[in-house]
């Protein structure tokens, strides 16, 4: 009887897992297949199209009103630069809070946590007004520029990333940094020659996650970027393909989504073990 109950539980678990997999994969498969359909719209879209065509992908390159690949390049540029400096500053902050002893250290850590408790939406109006005024003084980092958007991104997740990286740095023995100090190393030398290399798994994981977060970000980008040539993929697809004529552009939406999402999906598949391992390792102090 116990054996029968055990087998039944296993079957039910696999059945539930299968249902969740179908529920998660069906929308993805639907978008991918319809990106190869010439006549796909919201009324006649099918999971398996009647005819296979690459016309939707060709149209993305030939549409002068929707420079998709220019948007894609903008997205990569903004995401990479913002993620790089975000992780760099977060790593430095994590080292300070993990390995250095200074007055106000505890208050600083609590402040980082408290700041993360407030929704980012609360700051949108203030950020818009701030960078609107900055545009008159320093236009290169003002409203409507990639540099201005990157600066906004830098202030959004440095605190969270610093906490994650700090958790990993706490697992690195303090004796290593103390030995470096005895040998005459400065704090910065200890950071970039000893602690940062040892924390590389966590840093790489945080960089990938941060990059993907900025890559898919829409609200702030749509608020800051006004020139169509400066748009990211998320802003461009939503503005031209969805808001203007949703039904007629379903094929363009599907094909652009596939091209934009493919690199991120491949990145996750390649680094999924490192992502999971890096986050778990930093969650427990050893």
Q: What is the pLDDT of residue 285?
A: 45
31, 74: one domain: no
Q: How far is CA 133 from the centre of its chain?
A: 28
Q: What is the pLDDT of residue 286?
A: 42
Together in a domain, 90 and 197: yes
Q: According to the model, what pLDDT value does residue 266 have?
A: 84
Answer for the pair 157, 213: CB distance below 8 angstroms, yes or no. Answer: yes
For residue 47, being part of any structural domain is answered with yes
Place of tokens 């969270």: 160
In a domain, 96, yes or no: yes
Rg (CA), the chain: 24
Number of domains making up the chain: 2
pLDDT at 41: 60
252 shares its domain with 179:
yes
**Can you give the pLDDT at residue 153?**
87
Distances (CA, A) of 192 to 175, 208, 227: 16, 20, 40
Q: What is the pLDDT along the chain (286 residues), one digit of tens a residue?
A: 457 677 777 888 888 889 998 888 888 888 888 788 776 565 666 677 777 778 778 877 777 767 888 899 999 999 999 999 999 998 998 888 888 888 877 888 788 777 777 766 777 888 888 888 888 888 888 888 899 899 888 877 777 888 888 888 888 888 888 888 888 888 888 888 888 888 888 888 889 888 988 998 888 888 888 888 899 988 888 877 665 555 556 777 888 888 888 888 888 787 777 666 655 554 444 4
Q: What's the residue count for the chain?
A: 286
235 and 116 in a common domain: yes
Q: Is residue 286 part of a domain?
A: no
pLDDT at 283 (0 to 100): 47
Q: What per-residue confidence (pLDDT) applies to 252?
A: 77
Three-point CA angle 257, 259, 262, nearest 5°? 95
Does one domain contain both 45 and 177? no
What is the spatial distance between Cα 277 and Cα 286, in angstroms, rounded to a whole number? 14
Kindly state whether residues 77 and 26 are assigned to the same domain. Answer: no
pLDDT, residue 80, reads 94
283 burial (CB, 10 Å; 0-12 / 13-18 / 19+) is exposed
Helix, strand or coil, per DSSP, at residue 100: coil
pLDDT of residue 247: 53
Q: What is the CATH number of the domain that holds 194?
A: 1.10.3720.10
The pTM is what?
Answer: 0.82
- Asked if 77 and 106 sit in the same domain, the reply is yes
List the domain range (segments joined by +) for residue 118: 65-281
Query: 1 to each of 4, 6, 241, 258, how far by Cα in Å?
Result: 5, 9, 59, 49
Q: How many Cα atoms occupy the beta-carbon half-sphere of 133 within 13 Å?
A: 5
């Amino acid at each position: 009887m116990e054996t029968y109950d055990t087998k039944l539980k296993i079957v039910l678990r696999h059945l539930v897992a299968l249902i969740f997999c179908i529920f998660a994969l069906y929308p993805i498969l639907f978008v991918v297949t319809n990106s190869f359909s010439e006549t796909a719209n919201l009324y006649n879209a099918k999971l398996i199209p009647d005819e296979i065509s690459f016309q939707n992908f060709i149209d993305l390159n030939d549409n002068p009103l929707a420079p998709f690949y220019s948007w894609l390049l903008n997205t990569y540029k903004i995401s990479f630069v913002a993620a790089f400096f975000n992780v760099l500053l977060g790593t430095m902050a994590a080292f300070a809070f993990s390995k250095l002893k200074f007055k106000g250290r505890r208050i600083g850590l609590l402040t980082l946590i408290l700041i993360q408790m407030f929704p980012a939406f609360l700051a949108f109006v203030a950020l818009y007004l701030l960078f609107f005024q900055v545009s008159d003084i320093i236009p290169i980092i003002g409203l409507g520029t990639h540099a201005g958007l990157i600066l906004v991104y830098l202030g959004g997740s440095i605190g969270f990333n610093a906490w994650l990286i700090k958790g990993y740095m706490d697992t690195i023995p303090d004796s290593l940094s103390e030995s470096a100090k005895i040998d005459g190393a400065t704090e910065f030398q200890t950071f970039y020659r000893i602690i940062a290399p040892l924390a590389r798994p966590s840093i790489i994981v945080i960089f990938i996650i941060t990059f993907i977060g900025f890559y898919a970000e829409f609200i702030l980008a749509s608020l800051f970027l006004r020139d169509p040539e400066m748009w990211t993929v998320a802003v461009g697809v939503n503005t031209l393909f969805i808001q203007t004529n949703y039904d007629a552009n379903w094929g363009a939406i599907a094909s652009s989504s596939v091209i934009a999402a493919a690199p991120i999906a491949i990145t996750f598949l390649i680094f999924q073990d490192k992502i999971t391992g890096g986050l778990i390792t930093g969650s427990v102090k050893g």
